[in-house]
Amino acid sequence: MGGSRADGTVRLAFEYGAFEKPQFEPGQGVKLATERCRAWGYTGSEAFGGAHQPCTARNQYGCVAWRVFADFQCTGR
């Protein structure tokens, strides 16, 4: 988890490999981001910018690992 208190943004991330099937629950992401935002003095959060999924490891067959990032904007200060 990362982000910027000054900008009111939270970045959540997770990694998975080629033989894994990640289960991403958007509601869970909002809940985690809202907890961080509340600790910073905001009242909530909302997703923005969509998710990004760059490859983090390759072999001769192509990409074998990914890191998924989702960004959230803190709201209600």
Beta strands in the chain (DSSP E): 2-4, 9-17, 44-52, 55-59, 62-75
pLDDT for res 41: 96
d(CA 66, CA 22): 10
pLDDT for res 49: 85
CA geometry: angle at 25 spanning 37 and 27, to 5°? Answer: 45
Q: Of 24, 74, 15, which Cα lies nearest the Cα of 48?
A: 74
pLDDT exceeds 90 at position 70: yes
User: The pTM is what?
Assistant: 0.82
pLDDT for res 24: 73
Maximum CA extent, the chain? 49
pLDDT for res 17: 96
State pLDDT tens for residues 1-56. 789 999 999 999 999 999 998 887 778 899 999 999 999 999 999 998 888 999 99
Radius of gyration, alpha carbons of the chain: 14
